[in-house]
């Protein structure tokens, strides 16, 4: 009988939780994609997007979900493609995807801008056309979409549960290690901090649908292992790694972002507050440690200067103006355009300065 809540290390986690059945096939496709783009000298970015689920039953009817529509990831993937990157887009099944996101069924259903033209002669098949005021936008999106398909620069993978996500992330990041500095990781998926280990689900919770009628339901979940540490240190040590930090209390944004950088030692944490995320983000990164000139003693002042967080981290706020009621047909600026431009600049400098 499984009773004890456990803090899993990444190793224990992978030794006890089952991989998704399609893992092997997914990895082979990713390997082929990476090899092709490596040969062509292209940088590759892994974009993760959407929320992970935590099933409560083995035959799952109920699950906990993490907030994310997939807008950040899908939009950013488009800008990375425009910037010349090959993109591995690893997203939650049915969340937004690059290009088709412009025609989401809830905000801009494509059936609404298709017209049925009257047949030219009686009995002829009617033709379908695009409503004139939607043509220009559609042409732009479709041109980019076709171009990306023709060049084969986008590869898509899906996950649903936090288990799928972790297994895939580990496997893909190991494959990406061959790219060394040309690999970028853009971890925008909203990943659950807690999960129910299989052993617990099978013995302590439920194989089948949890039945009501027994009163309230108590669930004790275990912590998901902190996978950024092995990602940075073992799976893909040469890559440029960008993680996101989501908070609802804006006062926690900087301390939590700094803590993540301190713990995992990667390149950038992008902090975003839930309600302001579409027009304001902060890039937090570690400044190179200030080298004391030779011969200068480690005075109290020098030590306190070097250990003061405001001196060891750099913060760069990125903000855009969004009109409250944008005029129909007018393209609204997307913050992801500036996020990606800033990251491409940093990644390029990093590759140049460290190779």
Residues within the interface to ligand 9Z3 (CB under 6 A): 68-72, 187-188, 190-191, 243-246, 272, 277
C-alpha distances (whole Å) from 292 to each of 262, 265, 268, 288, 299 are 21, 22, 25, 12, 10
* 47/81 with CB nearer ligand 9Z3: 47
CB 168 → ligand 9Z3: shortest distance, Å? Answer: 15
The set of residues, in sequence order, having a beta carbon less than 8 Å from that of 103 and lying 6+ positions away, is 109, 110, 141
DSSP state letter for 12? H
Hunting for tokens 């409250």 — which residue is that?
324
Shortest distance, CB of residue 184 to ligand 9Z3, whole angstroms? 16
CB of 73 to ligand 9Z3, least distance (A): 6
- Nearest distance from residue 160's CB to ligand 9Z3, in Å? 16
Q: How far is the CB of 52 from ligand 9Z3 (least distance, A)?
A: 8
In this complex, which beta carbon is closest to ligand 9Z3, that of residue 68 or of residue 206? 68
Nearer to ligand 9Z3, 49 or 206 (CB): 49
Which of residues 191 and 201 has its CB atom nearest to ligand 9Z3 in the complex? 191
Query: For ligand 9Z3, which is the closer residue by CB, 53 or 68?
Result: 68
Q: How far apart are CA 332 and CA 107, in angstroms?
A: 14
Element (H, E) at 53: strand 53-55
* Shortest spacing between CB 145 and ligand 9Z3, in angstroms: 20
- Which of 167, 148, 137, 152 lies closest to 48, judged by CA? 167
> Going by DSSP bridges, is the β-strand pair 268-273/114-116 parallel, antiparallel, or unpaired?
unpaired
171 versus 187: smaller Cβ distance to ligand 9Z3: 187
Half-sphere exposure of 41 (CA within 13 A, CB side): 0
In whole angstroms, how close is the CB of 113 to ligand 9Z3 at the nearest point?
24
DSSP annotation of 330 reads: P
Taking alpha carbons only, the member of 196, 190, 161 closest to residue 53 is 161
d(CA 268, CA 47): 14
Cβ proximity to ligand 9Z3: between 8 and 33 the closer is 8
Beta carbon of residue 72, minimum distance to ligand 9Z3 (angstroms, whole number): 4
List Cβ neighbours of 68 (8 Å cut-off, separation of 6 or more).
49, 50, 51, 92, 95, 188, 189, 190
Measured CA to CA, the distance from residue 355 to residue 338 in angstroms comes to 26
Instruction: Give the closest residue to 185 by CA, choosing from 14, 15, 350.
Output: 350
Select 158 or 243, whichever has its Cβ closest to ligand 9Z3. Answer: 243
Q: Which residues contact 329 (CB under 8 A, 6 or more apart)?
A: 133, 137
Q: Which is nearer to ligand 9Z3, 30 or 261 (CB)?
A: 261
**Minimum separation from the CB atom of position 77 to ligand 9Z3 (A):** 12
């Amino acid at each position: 009988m499984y009773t004890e809540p456990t803090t899993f290390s990444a190793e224990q986690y992978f030794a006890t939780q089952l991989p998704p059945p399609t893992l092997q096939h997914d990895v082979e496709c990713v390997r082929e994609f990476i090899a092709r783009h490596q040969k062509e000298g292209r940088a590759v970015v892994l974009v993760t997007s959407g929320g992970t689920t935590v099933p409560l039953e083995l035959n799952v009817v109920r699950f906990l979900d993490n907030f994310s529509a997939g807008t950040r990831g899908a939009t950013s993937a488009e800008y990375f493609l425009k910037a010349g990157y090959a993109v591995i887009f690893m997203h939650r099944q049915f969340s937004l995807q690059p290009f088709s996101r412009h025609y989401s069924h809830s905000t801009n259903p494509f059936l609404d801008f298709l017209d049925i033209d009257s047949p030219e002669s009686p009995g002829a098949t009617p033709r379908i056309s695009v409503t004139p005021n939607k043509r220009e936008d559609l042409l732009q999106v479709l041109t980019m979409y076709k171009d990306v398909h023709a060049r084969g620069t986008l590869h898509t993978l899906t996950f649903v549960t936090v288990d799928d996500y972790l297994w895939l992330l580990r496997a893909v990041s190991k494959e990406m290690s061959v790219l060394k500095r040309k690999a970028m990781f853009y971890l925008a998926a909203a990943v659950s901090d807690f999960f129910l280990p299989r052993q617990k689900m099978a013995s302590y919770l439920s194989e089948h649908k949890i039945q009501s009628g027994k009163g309230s339901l108590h669930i004790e979940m275990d912590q998901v292992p902190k996978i950024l540490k092995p990602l940075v240190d073992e799976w893909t040590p040469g890559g440029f790694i960008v993680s996101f930090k989501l908070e609802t209390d804006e006062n926690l944004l900087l301390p939590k972002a700094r803590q993540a950088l301190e713990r995992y030692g990667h390149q950038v944490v992008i902090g975003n507050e839930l309600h302001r995320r579409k027009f304001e983000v902060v890039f937090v990164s570690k400044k190179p440690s200030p080298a004391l000139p030779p011969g200068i003693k480690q005075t109290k002042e020098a030590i306190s200067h070097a250990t003061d967080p405001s001196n060891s981290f750099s913060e760069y706020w990125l903000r855009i103006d969004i009109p409250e009621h944008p005029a129909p047909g007018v393209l609204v600026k997307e913050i992801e355009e500036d996020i990606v431009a800033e990251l491409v600049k940093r990644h390029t400098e990093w590759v140049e300065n460290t190779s």
